[in-house]
Amino acid sequence: MNRTLHLAAVYWAGVFALAFGLGIGRTLWLAPQIGAFGAVLCEVPLVLAASWWWARRLLQRRSLPSRASAFAMGAIAFALLIVAEVALSVLAFGISASEWAASLAAPVGALGLAGQLGFALVPGLVWEAEPTC
């Protein structure tokens, strides 16, 4: 389990750093040009492709004992992501946790959440799909 926790934290940190940078560009440059939904629609595939690449790198040579461990890695990383999202909303943007949760019901929020759930599933899917993992 210790290895799973470590890989989950590294997986989350790598993808979160990329997504944070993309999110700044999406918010400041792309969303004003094409709208918030279109901007998120452009960002999600990039983040999922990066998630796949990063998970594949982390799971090379079956560094976890089972597919269940790989799915646990994704679930733990997802939990870290949600904590970070709520913390950023509250601390950086003055949005309450309940307001953040309510925003997930809007189309843009639902699309972002779908991408985040995809991020959570990627390690287990990589385990299944990649012969070297």
pLDDT at 133: 59
Q: Is 27 helix (H, G, I), strand (E, B) or coil?
A: helix
Q: Domain tally for the chain?
A: 1
pTM of the model: 0.93
Rounded CA gap, 50 and 110, in Å? 20
Domain containing 54: what range? Answer: 2-129
Taking only the tens place, the pLDDT of each residue in 79-111 is 999 999 999 999 999 999 999 999 999 999 999
CA angle 10, 128, 21 (to 5 degrees): 35
